[in-house]
């Protein structure tokens, strides 16, 4: 068993064909401060005493350890107990669902903490006051997220275009829906959405709940009608039981379907990356040996955190190239933080980079929503966290690699009347460009392990 917990250590696991996942978590200290660069002026201690630690396949790997044990309402997002589903194998039986719904604590509103790295954006959390998170609602949302029965031909689920094994996106240039139909935009990532208000590349959905309704009725994506999707779900006993327990009797409707899916999406977050460990250990590095000995005597909890961080940093190192890239990323020379700012590395705003503007009829982007000329060709800034898994890039999937993305910015985008004033030609060497890519790759952290197959019969 890995003994260093997710918020402070060694749980980064990466396979050759998918993004890293995490199976252990601890509660880090949360801060209401949002920053675009690491702080070097403060160090805080955290405790691991109440953190769950489980291994895949073990007897303890269950969201509800037993029907008699109350589940904690205090949880750090990324905790696999939120995403591993109702324990067992094969389709979910009604008895399993009834036992799950009777488990003490599954209906309690969760008191959530963001994992290390994202914790500085705690004040940016959205949607949970209007749609409180509970374990039961998250689990219902998990089932719906992976259920193709929401589509008209039972072939397309949310996960088709936002696949955990593909970094919660799809590695195709455009989204592909029913009957192989192709959309006209790249699939945006579905993680760290708890920190985002408006959704889609153009921000046309004001919330995750509104976003979740869109693809179901989109003729290219799921090709269904809301009323038909609702009827399909209502006629599945396992779903009907859960909606009754969570939302009340006769509550299977499109709004509650969307609320459940949004709840699941809000708990999909990126865990700490090599950059986050590097940033957290940095304040300690200025201390002399005598200072560390004094800390060990006067503040053993803080010293323990230092030891854990030191081991975590060693297990998840940043290369020299990535360290140089970090300095560039936060500098005026590269100007990356003009848009990719804050703990989630996005300003959540819309910018015209010139992408696709050479076309005869370019995508109008945000202007379709606002009707304003200034928004023509402007698209929402994506997060750079785990960006190494979300290729191809840009709203039209036109750039296949991070190297191509850096080259695009270096040349100053594509000239057009609506080009953002933040986009200017950059004086970058080949080494600078390689270092920026290395830093973006160092922003890779684990996703929570998720059950994708267990759905109601």
**What single DSSP character describes residue 109?**
B
Give the pLDDT confidence of 230-241 residue by residue, as tens digits. Answer: 999 999 999 999
State how far the Cα of 187 lies from the Cα of 184, in Å rounded to an integer.
Answer: 10
Which of 5-14, 32-41, 297-306 holds the top average pLDDT?
A: 297-306
Q: CB within 8 A of 64, min separation 6: which ones? A: 71, 86, 87, 99, 100, 103, 106
Is pLDDT above 60 for 51?
no
Write 406-415 long-range contacts (CB < 8 A, 24+): 406/433, 406/436, 406/437, 407/433, 408/353, 408/355, 409/336, 409/353, 413/353, 413/354, 413/355, 414/353, 414/354, 414/355, 414/357, 414/358, 415/354
Q: What is the mean pLDDT of residues 406-413?
A: 98
67 pLDDT tier (thresholds 50, 70, 90): very low
Which range is least confidently modeled, 36-50, 122-136, 174-188, 394-408?
36-50
Is pLDDT above 70 for 63?
no
pLDDT (0 to 100) of residue 45: 33
Selection from 23, 27, 26 nearest residue 2 by Cα: 23
Q: What is the mean pLDDT of residues 239-268?
A: 98
Task: Round the average pLDDT of the chain to a whole number and report it.
Answer: 89
Is pLDDT above 80 for 20?
no
State how far the Cα of 116 lies from the Cα of 247, in Å rounded to an integer.
Answer: 32
Give the pLDDT confidence of 130-187 residue by residue, as tens digits. Answer: 999 999 999 999 999 999 999 999 999 999 999 999 999 999 999 999 999 999 999 9
Is pLDDT above 60 for 55?
no
- Alpha-carbon distances, residue 385 vs 274, 339, 396 (angstroms): 11, 14, 19
Q: What is the mean pLDDT of residues 80-87?
A: 97
Map residue 13 onto helix, strand or coil. Answer: strand
pLDDT (0 to 100) of residue 68: 52
Q: Are the C-beta atoms of residues 259 and 131 closer than 8 Å to each other?
A: yes
Q: What is the mean pLDDT of residues 408-414?
A: 97
pLDDT (0 to 100) of residue 7: 38
Is pLDDT above 50 for 58?
no
Cα within 13 Å of Cα(346), Cβ side: 24
Q: Are the C-beta atoms of residues 97 and 456 closer than 8 Å to each other?
A: yes
State how far the Cα of 37 lies from the Cα of 370, in Å rounded to an integer.
Answer: 32
Is pLDDT above 60 for 16?
no
Q: The tokens 């999406």 sit on which residue?
A: 265
Q: What is the mean pLDDT of residues 287-316?
A: 96
Is pLDDT above 80 for 29?
no
Write 95-100 long-range contacts (CB < 8 A, 24+): 97/238, 97/241, 97/242, 97/456, 98/241, 99/64, 99/67, 100/63, 100/64, 100/136, 100/139
pLDDT (0 to 100) of residue 42: 35
21 pLDDT tier (thresholds 50, 70, 90): low
Tokens of 275: 């950059």
- CA 296 distance to own-chain centroid: 36
State how far the Cα of 19 lies from the Cα of 36, in Å rounded to an integer.
Answer: 24
- Alpha-carbon distances, residue 266 vs 139, 147, 195, 270 (angstroms): 12, 18, 8, 11
Radius of gyration of the chain (CA): 22
More confident call, 53 vs 89: 89
Give the pLDDT confidence of 184-241 residue by residue, as tens digits. Answer: 999 999 999 999 999 999 999 999 999 999 999 999 999 999 999 999 999 999 999 9
pLDDT (0 to 100) of residue 448: 97
Is pLDDT above 60 for 326?
yes
| Domains of the chain, first to last | 13-270 (1.10.760.10), 325-441 (1.10.760.10)
State how far the Cα of 403 lies from the Cα of 406, in Å rounded to an integer.
Answer: 5
Q: Are the C-beta atoms of residues 413 and 426 closer than 8 Å to each other?
A: no
> Phi/psi at 209 (nearest 5 deg)?
-60, -45
Is pLDDT above 70 for 338?
yes
State how far the Cα of 53 lies from the Cα of 229, in Å rounded to an integer.
Answer: 38
Map residue 199 onto helix, strand or coil. Answer: strand
């Amino acid at each position: 068993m890995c003994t260093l917990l997710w918020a402070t250590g060694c749980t980064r696991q990466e396979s050759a064909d998918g993004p890293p996942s995490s199976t252990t978590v601890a509660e880090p200290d949360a801060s209401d401060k949002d920053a675009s660069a690491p702080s070097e002026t403060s160090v805080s201690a955290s405790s691991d005493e109440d953190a769950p630690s489980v291994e895949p396949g073990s007897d303890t790997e269950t969201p509800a350890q037993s029907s008699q044990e109350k589940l904690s309402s205090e949880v750090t997002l990324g905790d696999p107990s939120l995403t591993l589903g109702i324990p067992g194998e094969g389709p979910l039986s009604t008895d399993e669902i009834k036992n799950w719904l009777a488990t003490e604590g599954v209906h309690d509103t969760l008191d959530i903490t963001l994992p290390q790295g994202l914790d500085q954006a705690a004040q940016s959390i959205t949607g949970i006051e209007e749609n409180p998170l509970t374990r039961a609602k998250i689990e219902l949302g998990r089932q719906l997220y992976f259920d193709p029965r929401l589509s008209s031909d039972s072939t397309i689920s949310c996960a088709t275009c936002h696949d955990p094994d593909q970094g919660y996106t799809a590695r195709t240039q455009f989204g592909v829906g029913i009957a192989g139909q192709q959309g006209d935009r790249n699939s945006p990532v579905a993680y760290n959405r708890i920190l985002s208000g408006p959704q889609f590349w153009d921000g046309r959905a004001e919330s995750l709940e509104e976003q979740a309704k869109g693809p179901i009725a989109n003729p290219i994506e799921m090709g269904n009608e809301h009323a038909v999707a609702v009827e399909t779900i209502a006629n599945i006993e396992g779903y009907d039981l859960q909606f009754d327990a969570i939302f009340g009797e006769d509550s299977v409707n499109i709004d509650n379907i969307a609320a459940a899916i949004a709840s699941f999406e809000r708990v999909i977050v990126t865990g700490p990356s090599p950059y986050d460990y590097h940033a957290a250990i940095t304040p300690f590095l200025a201390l002399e040996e005598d200072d560390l000995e004094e800390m060990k005597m006067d503040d053993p909890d803080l010293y323990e955190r230092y030891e854990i961080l030191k081991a975590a940093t060693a297990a998840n190192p940043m290369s020299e190239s990535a360290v140089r890239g970090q300095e560039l990323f936060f500098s005026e020379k590269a100007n990356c933080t003009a848009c990719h700012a804050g703990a989630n590395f996005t300003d959540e705003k819309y910018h015209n980079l010139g992408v696709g503007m050479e076309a005869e009829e370019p995508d109008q982007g945000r202007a379709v929503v606002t009707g304003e000329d200034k928004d023509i060709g402007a698209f929402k800034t994506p997060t750079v966290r785990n960006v190494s898994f979300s290729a191809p890039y840009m709203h039209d999937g036109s750039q296949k690699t991070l190297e191509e993305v850096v080259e695009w910015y270096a040349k100053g985008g594509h000239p057009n009347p609506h080009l953002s004033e933040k986009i200017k030609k950059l004086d970058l060497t080949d080494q600078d460009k390689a270092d920026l890519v290395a830093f973006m790759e160092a922003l890779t952290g684990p996703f929570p392990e998720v059950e994708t197959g267990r759905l109601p019969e």
